[in-house]
Amino acid sequence: MQLRYSFRVYPSAGQRMALARAFGCARVVFNDALRVRETARAAGLPFVPSGELSKQLTAAKKTPERAWLTEVSSVVLQQSLRDLDIAYKNFFDGLKGKRPRMGAPRFKSRKDNRQSIRFTANAGWKITAGGKLRLPKVGDLAVKWSRALPSTPSTVTIIKDAAGRYFASFVVETDPEPLAATDGVVGIDLGLTHFAILSDGTKIDSPRFLRRAEKKLKRAQQNLSRKAKGSNNRTKARIKVARAHGAVADARREFHHQLSTKLIHENQAVAVEDLAVKGLARTRMAKSVHDAGWSAFVTMLEYKAAKYGRTFHRIGRFEPTSQVCSACGVKDGPKPLHIREWTCGACGTVLDRDINAAVNVAKAAGLAVSACGARVRPRLVPAQREKTGTHPKTSRTSGSQAGISVF
């Protein structure tokens, strides 16, 4: 399986200029190729293939207007064309229903928050004996190696984020690392008040990193709004805002990594619900939904399960997990969000809404979990019609009462 390992890099002033030149050249090539295809589409001409675009790029390097494209690695420019092909493929696949819909490819700007270039093995990049990353026409970059790479990388992507930080992202081929088998299985219900509710009754509070940093972000944004446009002070203020948002994103990512690793190590099988995050992000809960970062967390669970030999289940979003009693399986209908605890009308079991949903998530995935973890409280109910008139002692020793198993 392929995994991506990211490390912080610290280019010198001259290397930052070389990287900026590479970012700009890759962006120009992408925009030129997109313009050629859009012009052909507007004229009713056939779709321009990538081979033709590559030929036009080679010819453009020989013209005075685009001669400066030769100052960067040719692999970077070819990978920019590859990125355009991927953008078109994702767009067309969305129209065909093969994946979620995406917008058509758009022109890139030098003001975009994220700039990136990619080097493949053909570019001749390598990691030196001194632990530096040597890139063609850039130089040796200092890298903060936080861990060892499991194998030789196939590609490296240099990324510059909105805060001005540089990262090297390596794609490596790794073998699965199966963990020792365990009997634990868990269903997970994701929420806002509690980030995750497990089928064993555990509730994990939501850290709410964005909410906790709102005051700091507000002050930084107000300070930015007071700066004159185009001034150096505005640039400094913008970087401060970006760094504040980056700190929130880093803390959220670290929380997701720690929790997902813990769940994968402790359980043989994990089940989650496929949430409609895009729909929820259009409601009044949008800020809290984005702050939770459910999609990133579920993605981590999925790839870590594959890496460590665990089983990952994703059940459909239309599964009525909050409407079905986990004790008897009777569907009791939808309930408003303010109802956090409810009583089953069929068996009389008092259920915690979130834990009950987590148990149903596990059961929908075919995992053998017990409803006893759902904090159920059986109460006395009238005897069934076929048992009326029997002696009280007989009914207590019969093994069931109104559908409730005797514990």
- Look up tokens 């493949």; give the residue: 120
The pair phi, psi for residue 391, each rounded to 5°, is -75, 140
Tokens of 336: 């408003």
Pairing of strands 269-273, 350-352: unpaired
Per-residue pLDDT of the chain in tens (407 residues, 90 and over written 9): 889 999 999 999 999 999 999 999 999 999 999 999 999 999 999 999 999 999 999 999 999 999 999 999 999 999 999 999 999 999 999 999 998 888 999 999 998 989 999 999 999 999 999 999 999 999 999 999 999 998 999 999 999 999 999 999 999 998 888 999 998 899 999 988 899 999 888 999 999 999 999 999 999 999 999 999 989 999 999 999 999 999 999 999 999 999 999 999 999 999 998 888 888 888 888 999 999 999 999 999 999 999 999 999 998 888 888 888 887 878 877 887 788 887 887 787 788 888 888 888 888 888 866 655 444 444 444 444 443 444 444 444 333 333 333 33
Quick check: 285 and 192 in contact, CB under 8 A? yes
> Which sequence positions are flagged as catalytic?
189, 273, 354
Q: What pLDDT score was predicted for residue 353?
A: 82
Between CA 6 and CA 302 the distance in angstroms is 19
The four Cα atoms 241, 242, 243, 247 give a dihedral, to 10 degrees, of 100
- Residue 342 CA to residue 335 CA, distance in Å, equals 9
Q: Tokens representing 98?
A: 């093969």
How far is it between the farthest Cα atoms of the chain?
Answer: 102
For residue 70, the 8-state DSSP code is G
Quick one: tokens of 230? 């185009």
3-state secondary structure of 117: strand
d(CA 327, CA 58): 68
Q: Is 291 helix (H, G, I), strand (E, B) or coil?
A: helix
Query: Across the strands, what pairs with 185?
Result: 269
pLDDT digits (tens, 9 = 90+) for 119-161: 999 999 999 999 999 999 999 999 999 999 989 999 999 999 9
Query: CA 319, CA 341: separation in Å to the nearest integer?
Result: 19
Structure tokens at 311: 């089983």
